[in-house]
Amino acid sequence: MMKHFSIAVTSVMTSVMAILLFSNALAHHNSPESLEARVAAVGTLNIGSDGAAAGAATSEADSAAAEDGVQDGETVYNTTCAACHASGVAGAPILGAVDDWEERIEQGMDSLVERALLGFTGSSGVMPPKGGNVSLSDDAVTAAVQFMVDQIK
Ligand code: HEC
């Protein structure tokens, strides 16, 4: 009787140990540290290739802009305006969304450009002057407005 009891205890203990070891291994496997390390490894790889390419592209665009003084509208849109106008952040009319733009475009290009340059507060939100990027030239902002309007036609 005593022997059976101790066998039972031993096997329970063994199971508990096994479960503890197993869950410990699982916990370690999914621990934030190891996840972080793995994510970091992947992230570093991405920055190494894509990041460098993107950086090179940006400085190419910058120097092209410096040469002729005008950045093309799509570049300006992507670097400054898309922050709000891509998804409608803060009530911004969404690029390519006819309903968002039809009435605005009816005001005419001059009015759109003036509001993009000087900023304005309308019924849906606040458009900051030059989209908040005051280093942009007036021509660059005008080109970006033209690019945005062109997406509606
Ligand atoms: C911080 C967010 C934000 C950024 C960045 C931004 N806009 Fe806007 N923009 C808005 C909002 C919000 C409106 C709508 C305001 C309203 O009608 O109430 C708007 C409206 C406009 C309009 C319509 C004006 C009109 O007369 O209806 C134009 C054109 C425009 N933006 C151009 C630009 C350009 C060009 C850039 C980049 C240089 C830019 N925006 C960047 C928020 C932004």
Look up the CATH number of the domain holding residue 130: 1.10.760.10
Q: What is the domain count for the chain?
A: 1
Q: Is residue 77 part of a domain?
A: yes
- Report pTM: 0.66
Q: Is residue 84 part of a domain?
A: yes
- Closest residue (by CA) to atom 42 of ligand 1? 127
Residue 110: alpha-carbon gap to chain centroid: 31
CA of 67 to the centre of ligand 1 (A): 27
The CA-CA-CA angle for residues 102, 106, 107, to 5°, reads 125
Q: Is residue 103 part of a domain?
A: yes
Q: Is residue 61 part of a domain?
A: no
Is the shortest distance between the CB of 82 and ligand 1 below 6 Å? no
Q: Is residue 104 part of a domain?
A: yes
Q: Is residue 43 part of a domain?
A: no
Q: Is residue 52 part of a domain?
A: no
pLDDT tens, the chain, 153 aa long: 566 766 666 666 666 666 555 555 555 455 455 545 555 544 444 444 444 444 444 444 454 444 455 689 999 999 999 999 999 999 999 999 999 999 999 999 999 999 999 999 999 999 999 999 999 999 999 999 999 999 997
Q: How far is CA 60 from CA 63, 66, 69, 124, in A?
A: 5, 10, 14, 36
Residue 83: which domain range?
A: 71-153
